Amino acid sequence: MLENTKLKLVVEKEFCKGCGICVAFCPKDVLILEKGKVKVENLDACIQCGQCELRCPDYAIYLGGN
Amino acid sequence: MPSKLVDKYFRTDSLPHIWCPGCGNGIVTRAIVKAIDNLNLNQEDVCIVSGIGCSSRASGYLDFNTIHTTHGRALAFATGIKFANPNLHVIVITGDGDCAAIGGNHLIHAARRNIDLTTIVFNNNIYGMTGGQYSPTTPTGDKGTTAPYGNIDANFDLCELAKASGATYVSRSTVYGANMIIKQVEEGIKNKGFSFIETITICPTYYGRKNKKGDAVDMMNYLKENTVNKIAYEKLSEEKRKDKIIVGEIYKGQRPEYVEEYEKIIESF
Question: B26 CA to chain A: closest CA distance, Å?
Answer: 4
Judged by a CB distance cut-off of 8 A, whether residue B22 touches chain A is yes
Judged by a CB distance cut-off of 8 A, whether residue B19 touches chain A is yes
Identity of the residue in A24, A58, A65 whose CB atom sits nearest the CB atom of B26: A58
Q: Residue A11 pairs with which residues in a beta bridge? A: A61
Q: Which residues of A touch B30 (CB under 8 A)?
A: 54, 56, 59
Q: Angle at Cα A9 formed by Cα B16 and Cα B59, nearest 5°?
A: 30
User: CA-to-CA distance for B82 and B226, rounded, in angstroms?
Assistant: 37
Judged by a CB distance cut-off of 8 A, whether residue B1 touches chain A is yes
Question: A24 CA to chain B: closest CA distance, Å?
Answer: 7
Contact at CB, B3 and A10, closer than 8 angstroms: yes
Print the domain residue range for B158: 4-11+18-267
Question: A11 CA to chain B: closest CA distance, Å?
Answer: 9
Label residue A7 by pLDDT band (50, 70, 90). confident
Q: Tell which of B4, B27, B185, B224 to mutate to test the A interface (max A CBs under 10 Å).
A: B27
Contact at CB, B179 and A58, closer than 8 angstroms: no
Q: Residue B81: which of B96, B72, B97, B92 has the closest Cα?
A: B92
Identity of the residue in B3, B5, B24 whose CB atom sits nearest the CB atom of A57: B24
* ipTM of this predicted structure: 0.91
Buried b (16+ CB within 10 A) or exposed e, A3-37: eeeeeebbbbeebbbbbbbbbbbbeeebbebeeee
Spatial contact of B91 and B189, defined as CB atoms under 8 Å apart = yes
pLDDT, tens only, A19-47: 999 999 999 999 999 999 999 999 999 99
Contact at CB, B178 and A59, closer than 8 angstroms: no
User: CA-to-CA distance for B134 and B151, rounded, in angstroms?
Assistant: 7
Q: Global pTM?
A: 0.94
Q: How many CB pairs under 8 A join A and B?
A: 72
Judged by a CB distance cut-off of 8 A, whether residue B68 touches chain A is no
CA B6, B7, B9, B10 dihedral sign is: positive
pLDDT, tens only, B158-202: 999 999 999 999 999 999 999 999 999 999 999 999 999 999 999
The helix or strand, by DSSP H or E, that contains position B261, with its residue range, turns out to be helix B258-267
Label residue B4 by pLDDT band (50, 70, 90). very high
The helix or strand, by DSSP H or E, that contains position A2, with its residue range, turns out to be helix A2-5
Assign a CATH topology to domain A2-64: Alpha-Beta Plaits (3.30.70)
Spatial contact of B125 and B135, defined as CB atoms under 8 Å apart = yes
- Specify the pairing of strand B118-123 against strand B195-200: parallel
Among chain A residues, the shortest Cα distance to B17 is held by: A58
Q: How many domains is chain B partitioned into structurally?
A: 1
Whichever domain contains B55, its CATH number is 3.40.50.970
pLDDT, tens only, B43-78: 999 999 999 999 999 999 999 999 999 999 999 999
Q: What residues does each domain of chain A span?
A: 2-64
Spatial contact of B61 and B54, defined as CB atoms under 8 Å apart = no
